[in-house]
Amino acid sequence: MPVVVGSGFSPAPAVGVAAADAAREALGALRGASCDVAMVFVAGDLVTETTDALRIVHEILEPGDVVGTTAGGLLAGGQEHEQGDGVAVWAISLGDAGRAEVFELHATEVEEGIALSGLPSVEIGVTSAIVLLADVSRLPLEATLQAFEEHLPGVPVVGGVPSLVPPDGRALLRGTGQSSAAAVGIRFEGVEVLPLVSQGARPIGPELTVTAGEGAVIRELAGRPAIDVLRDTVDSLDDDDREQIRHGLLLGLVVQPGQPEYGTGDFIVRGLAGADPETGAVVVGAPVAVGQVARLHVRDPQTATSDLEDALALRRAAAGSAQIAGALAFTCNGRGREMFGHDHHDADAIQRELGPLPLIGMISAGEIGPVGGRPFVHGFTATVAVFLS
């Protein structure tokens, strides 16, 4: 049997109605196939009633397991519900060869820092993808993603950070109730998953080599104080690019060096977190290494739109003749109407380029996805996991 995905959404203000409507819609879309695992997203005032929502989803879908989270907004079909109440349900039947392992990560403080427990099984060459929901108040997400890279090298990790946490501080869901874990996730095997990351940023100015720096601090670029080089680079830009920098100065760092040229998808893009005029050093939100290539970036609605459309077209081409079963999406709470000036931008693009397909996701406070084969947490980004049938 092929992989089948079902999705459902309801904006009903009563959690019982919303969960039942969303679960029944997802069940109908499975066309009689059993639900191996489900994801549940709960938004608005309903975030205090997640246990009731999960109980109803279990009664209707009878899933093998469930993970989920509360969220400030939801994606469903071709729409983005940036505010208001709602329950969204994503259900998958993995066919004859597929398997899903649900896991919970716990973080414990030790002398050396943080120890993680609960990482999923090591199935290198078998694991298709990881979908991860992370509570950044309970674990260091960058270090956690580095642990995944070491634990399951090359395996794409896609997911997000809850953008709305209930008053009790427990946003993550597992089984029939709230989870006390720092992160919950699903390890998939035997099903093909195409990850997508659209950072929506455009490189400008010349490529610059880090010649001195450590940690997240760049001391020199091209043999000169970093702040002087960046100032000169900005001064050399045309008027249009200087205007875009008013929205925030970004720096892209190449993840996989040694290529003849670097395009949009080769950089991990971070904001400049600080600068020291006395030393000329700048601070970025990612580790740096001497010899790494850096380049200024700008983010604007036009760039974000074309970047997402191009990334989706590449996934459509990569799917070839295979049918797309469905997708999960995580889009930043800084995108949406605030960035694009109209509703449903990302969801509509996904449906237009890949659909029609079952699509569920959440408005996130941090998006997880791979760049250069390595997992990162992003901002102002859309990340998508596309499941093939």
pLDDT at 98: 95
312, part of any domain: no
Is residue 113 domain-shared with residue 206, that is, in the same domain?
A: no
Structural domains in the chain (count): 2
Is residue 156 domain-shared with residue 49, that is, in the same domain?
A: yes
Report H helices in the chain.
15-29, 50-61, 141-151, 226-235, 239-245, 301-319, 336-340, 345-354
22, part of any domain: yes
Is residue 233 domain-shared with residue 382, that is, in the same domain?
A: no
- Identify whether the C-beta of residue 386 lies closer than 8 Å to the C-beta of residue 327: yes
pLDDT at 329: 98
CA distance 117 to 104: 8
Is residue 182 domain-shared with residue 224, that is, in the same domain?
A: no
Which amino acid, 97?
A: A
CA distance 269 to 260: 20
* Total-model pTM: 0.94
DSSP state of 360: E
Q: What is the CATH number of the domain that holds 267?
A: 2.40.30
25, part of any domain: yes
From first to last of the 389 residues of the chain, give the pLDDT tens digit.
899 999 999 999 999 999 999 999 999 999 999 999 999 999 999 999 999 999 999 999 999 999 999 999 999 999 999 999 999 999 999 999 999 999 999 988 787 777 899 999 876 678 999 999 999 999 999 999 999 999 999 999 999 999 999 999 999 999 999 999 999 999 999 999 999 999 988 899 999 999 999 999 999 999 999 999 999 999 999 988 888 887 778 999 999 887 878 887 889 999 888 999 999 999 998 889 999 999 999 888 888 999 999 999 999 999 999 999 999 999 999 999 999 999 999 999 999 999 999 999 999 999 999 999 999 999 999 999 999 99
Is residue 175 domain-shared with residue 232, that is, in the same domain?
A: no
- Identify whether the C-beta of residue 150 lies closer than 8 Å to the C-beta of residue 116: no
Phi, psi of 292 (to 5 degrees): -70, 145
Print the domain residue range for 98: 4-192+322-388
